[in-house]
Amino acid sequence: MLTRLLARLRQSWFPPSNPNRHKNPNTNPRDSVPVMLVADEPLQIAVVGCGIIGAILALGLINKNIKVTVYEQARSLREIGAGIAFTANARKCMSMIDERIVDCIATVATPNGDPKNPNNNMQFIDGYTHDPGDPDDISSKKLYKLFGGPKGFEGCHRAHFLEEIMKLMPNDVVRLSKRLHTLEDYGAGKVVLRFCDGTVAQADAGPVIGCDGIKSRVRELILGENNPASYPHYTHKVAYRGLVSMDEATARLGHYRAHNQHMYGGPNAHVLHFPVAKQNLMNVVAFLTDLNDWPLERSMSQPATKDEIAGAFADWGPTVRNVIDLLPIEMEKWGVFDSLDYPAPTYSRGRVCIAGDAAHASSPHHGAGAGIGVEDALALTVLVDTVQSSIRTRDVRKTLALQAAFAAFTAVRRERSQWLVQSSREACEIYEWNDCHCGSDMDKGYEEIKRRSHKIWYFDIEGMLKQLEQEYRHYLAR
C-alpha cells in the first residue's frame, strides 16, 4: 500500500512528459522538477532562540546528524526566571533526546528535603485559616503530599541549567546578537532569515523552528503582526520573588519547613517556597492578583519592595506572615503572561514552526511549561529525523516532507499543550480558593490538583511518538 501511495505521489510531482527533456545526455530527467532533492543533500535547520528548549532541540537534531544553526537575539546566553524543576516524565524525554541532558540537571539541581533521602512530594497546606492566639498555625493542619516520581522536585536555576547544556553544544552552532526581523520563503527550498542588524541567513531547503520564547517573533510572522494570537496577554497575576538565607529561614520556620517545598493556599493569593543553591538559599514566590494593566512592551520583570505585598498577607496565618517577613526589602516582581486568551490556531505555516513558550506560553502554576517544551523538542527531533530518512530512502520531496512533519506536530502537540495553558490558570484558582467546585475545601482542591498533575506527569511518550508517525504519513499522503 505504501509503495502504491509513493508511486502516486511521484506521479503528481513530475510534469507532463516532454520529448525534448532528454536532449542533453548529461541532464537528469528530474532536473526539471522544482524543489526535487539530491538524495545525499543534508537537512539544514535554523532554530531561532537559544533558551532551554531551543538548546535541547538543537542537541537532539545534532545527535541525528542534522546540520543546525541557532540564532539568538541576546549578546550572551541567558535565561529569565528563577527556579525550574522537571518530573520523571520530562527527564525521560530528555534522555531520549540526549542522555547527557539529564546529567546537566544533576549537576546543578538542589534536592528537596534531606539530600540523603530526598522528599519527592509536592506539598501544600492551608496558609490562611488560623487561631489568632496560636503562634504555630501549621503543625496541627493537614499537609497534602503529592508524589512526583523519583527526583521529581529537584529544582535548579534556569540560567545554571542552560550553562550546563551549552557545554555540550559544538562551538560553531550558535550565532549571538541575531534578532529576527523577517522570514521570506523564496521557494525552491530556500527560506531566508533577515535580522535587525541587516544580515541575512539562508536555510537551504530546510525549515525554521521558532523557540524564541513568550514574546516570539516567529509566532508573529506565522500568525500575523495584527493578530492578537501573535502575542501573550497579561493574566492579572503578579509573582513577587526573593531569595532568603537558609540559616535565617531555618531559624524562623524550622528545619523541615525551610528545607522542603511548601505551597500555602488562601483567598486570592498563594505563596510558594523551596530550597535552591544546594540548600543554601530558600526561594520564595508570592502570587497576588493585580487589576491593573501590564503593557506587553513593558519588561516582564520589575523592581519591587516587600512593603508592596506585606499588607496583602496581614490577615493570613503566622507561618505565611513569617515567610513574607523573611523576604528582602528590595526584590523583583514578574507579570504573569500566557497565551490562553488568544491561543495559536496552528503551530506551523509551511516550513516554519514554533515550539515551547513560542507556541503555548503558560502561567507557572503547574510548574510544567518547560517540561511540555521538552516534549515538543523530542517530538520535533523525531519528526525531522523521519523527514531526513524519508528524503534519503523514499525519494520524497523535502519541502513536502517538512510541511507534513510540521503539520503532524501541530496535530499531535496542540491539544495537550493548550490544555496545560488552561489548566495552569485553573490551578491558580484552586490554590487561591476561587474555584467554583473546590472553594476553600483543601481536600477537594488536593484531589483536583492531583488529577491534573497526573495528566501532566504520566504522559504516554511512546504513544505520542506513534501518533506523530501516523499523522506524518497522513499529511504526506494528502
Based on its alpha-carbon atoms, the radius of gyration of the chain, rounded to whole angstroms, reads 25
Contacts of 338 by beta carbon, 8 Å cutoff, 6+ apart: 232, 233, 235, 361, 362, 363, 421, 424, 425
* Torsion over CA: 273, 111, 423, 436 (sign): negative
Q: Which amino acid is at 102?
A: V
Q: 351 near 30, Cβ under 8 Å? A: no
Cα gap 153→120, rounded to integer Å: 6
**Closest Cα partner for 35 from 393, 469, 475, 391?**
391
Q: Which residue of the set 241, 349, 413, 425 is catalytic? A: 241
Q: How many residues does the chain have?
A: 478
Q: 27 near 388, Cβ under 8 Å? A: no
How far is Cα of residue 458 from the mean position of the Cα atoms in its chain?
17
Cα gap 240→200, rounded to integer Å: 40
Cα gap 402→471, rounded to integer Å: 13
Q: 223 near 230, Cβ under 8 Å? A: yes
Q: 355 near 210, Cβ under 8 Å? A: yes
Whether residue 8 lies in the annotated active site: no
- Supply angle C-alpha 357, 58, 152, rounded to 5: 60
What letter does residue 298 receive in the DSSP assignment? Answer: S
CA atoms within 13 A on the CB side of 42: 9
Q: 194 near 203, Cβ under 8 Å? A: no
Cα gap 388→409, rounded to integer Å: 16
**Closest Cα partner for 284 from 242, 332, 239, 251?**
242
Positions annotated as catalytic residues are 241
